[in-house]
Structure 1
């Protein structure tokens, strides 16, 4: 089966995205609702950086973002030294970038480590030191699909979840009070559930609604995908140590194709398209085991930051005040241990 890389469909540079979203003037819904953005990145790229100035401008665009969690994205690795230790450079870069920032910004960091290596313990301890008290977890990309769906030519490693070496490294996390952020595609959700059952003392945060694919060989197969994806979601929800991040739906993997529109979509359009996935996740996990994420600036391909959070507010309009508090900030504060962090 031919490999499919949705990143090749990206059609706008950061400057073009700014212009594309400039007309987005819809009012902020429920502007006083506190938000912990539980998933964003910082990076340096030839086509444009997304560092502290860009992050501050983004979260200052109208919504009441009180704290955030920075997630690894394979950027700013060291260029010398032991190969497996080079990923520590990304954590060092994040900490350096946010010096002098307002409290709450990147209050938690989720860094990378290759857990299947015998030297994983050295990497974990180095990441803890580099994060200067902000390290909350590890993310090692597990995403893989036999169709070859990948990102920027990176297809992923097959069956890493079941690799004995990976599991030996995974066992080190709970001893250090670290969680694991899991980025997978929907055919892998049953494997993640089995991993969660094997390590009940380790919290696993599943990213991006569990990766329901809608591109490549999955295009036009929404009903089939929903059946398999929902079964995986329910298997995960049966594991009390699994938490769901609701977001990432602006990535091109899901096949909504908002990025192809001449004008950025409004929040009502986003909410209508995303509702089946969000409703199923909320029904399965409940607000005490679910949190909202922006996945910024990746999801910038499909919408503006203000429209994204407006869409989430529309999608949770029927929830109680306490349930919305959990979804938008309290669950993230608890899972990432941000309770004592001063707000932005």
Structure 2
């Protein structure tokens, strides 16, 4: 597994605006990563980032990586192991107390919506596994013929009848849908959001702009296409968006491979156009910041990442900052 801790330790910063309350709207937690390229991120690493970087991380949102499976039982219910895992982390944070509490305050699991209406059994099992924290599911629908990570996604997945039959089971249970896709797929999500206006959809990673394959070296074109598609998606009032996950190599916006890790000033300079354009389209009331750790750990340390976000929105007023760093996530994921 990857270990770039020495590289990250080459640059340290004190936290900017250390009292600003933050809900980290998207992270994972695993001792054994799903791919060797990713760092290990067990509970102690997660709690260390939450409590020692100087940022006021009051709560976090756990998003399942589909590796913490139940060891037995029906195949379709094994995914509930991710919620079991997150609930145990939340309880351990409470047991340790202090700033450890609030970890995994909301839990996003996985359920195979392609089961159609039969997925109801899986959703109810998640809710039983964590009655007070389970909030919804994520399906990794990201797909592009030039992308190297098409684990679950495939062309036009969001429009399939069976997928939508399963999707229809979310709103009656009060559950949300986290969507991870790539920028060429944004129009598919817009169509889904319009077909299900009563289902809360939370777009992950600002729709992951990609600059590899046929998009390599076409940064301006990608930004233009991404921006136009996102503007159309923003007309759907049931869609929220997570800002982050730009430190993966395929975005063309990371610092992976450099001799030294980035400073928050460098991070803000390279990524602010995407961040500010997203906020302009969705507004602070539907925008929330995410760490996407440990995946983004490949390109930046936890403390520097949050300083970078704070620099990007330095000109916003205190109420707008509080919305983007805390209140929007609290609303979207019903975190009290």
- Would the TM-score normalized by the shorter structure come out above 0.5? yes
Post-superposition Cα deviations, 1:308-339, rounded to whole Å, max 9, x if no partner, equal 00000000001001000000000000110002
1:41 to 3, 15, 28: 28
1:82 corresponds to which residue? 74
Post-superposition Cα deviations, 1:97-154, rounded to whole Å, max 9, x if no partner, equal 332313311000000000110421111001111123211111011111133x132x73
1:68 corresponds to which residue? 60
1:94 corresponds to which residue? 86
Are the aligned partners of 1:182 and 1:207 in contact in 2 as well (CA < 8 Å)? yes
1:182 to 160, 166, 179: 179
CA RMSD of aligned residues (A): 1.5
1:120 corresponds to which residue? 119
Alignment of 1:152-191 (within 5 A): 154=151, 156-191=153-188
The alpha carbon displacement at 1:210 in A equals 1.2
Post-superposition Cα deviations, 1:263-320, rounded to whole Å, max 9, x if no partner, equal 1100000101101101110100010010000001110000111110000000000100
SS in 2 for 1:68: strand
**C-alpha separation in 2, matches of 1:257 and 1:143:** 19
The answer on 1:22 being equivalent to 2:19 is no
1:52 corresponds to which residue? 43
The answer on 1:144 being equivalent to 2:136 is no
Count of residue correspondences: 324
**C-alpha separation in 1, matches of 2:120 and 2:234:** 29
Are the aligned partners of 1:44 and 1:76 in contact in 2 as well (CA < 8 Å)? no
Higher deviation after alignment, 330-339 or 98-107: 98-107
The answer on 1:283 being equivalent to 2:299 is no
SS in 1 for 2:107: strand
Higher deviation after alignment, 323-332 or 215-224: 215-224
Are the aligned partners of 1:44 and 1:75 in contact in 2 as well (CA < 8 Å)? no
For structure 2, the 5+ residue unaligned runs are 94-99
Are the aligned partners of 1:40 and 1:71 in contact in 2 as well (CA < 8 Å)? yes
**C-alpha separation in 2, matches of 1:56 and 1:245:** 21
Higher deviation after alignment, 79-88 or 54-63: 79-88
Cα pair distance change 1:325/1:236, threshold 3 Å: same
2:289 corresponds to which residue? 292
Post-superposition Cα deviations, 1:12-61, rounded to whole Å, max 9, x if no partner, equal 822xx211111222221111111000000011316664222111111222
The answer on 1:111 being equivalent to 2:105 is no
Are the aligned partners of 1:144 and 1:150 in contact in 2 as well (CA < 8 Å)? no
Are the aligned partners of 1:208 and 1:246 in contact in 2 as well (CA < 8 Å)? yes
**C-alpha separation in 2, matches of 1:175 and 1:273:** 41
Please report the TM-score for the alignment, with normalisation by the length of structure 1: 0.91
Are the aligned partners of 2:89 and 2:104 in contact in 1 as well (CA < 8 Å)? no
Please report the TM-score for the alignment, with normalisation by the length of structure 2: 0.93
Alignment of 1:216-295 (within 5 A): 216-295=213-292
The answer on 1:13 being equivalent to 2:5 is no
Post-superposition Cα deviations, 1:164-220, rounded to whole Å, max 9, x if no partner, equal 001011111110111100000001101101100100001111000111111222110
Moved over 4 A (4+): none
Are the aligned partners of 1:34 and 1:328 in contact in 2 as well (CA < 8 Å)? yes
**C-alpha separation in 2, matches of 1:76 and 1:67:** 21
- The structure with higher relative contact order (CA 8 Å, sep 6+) is 1
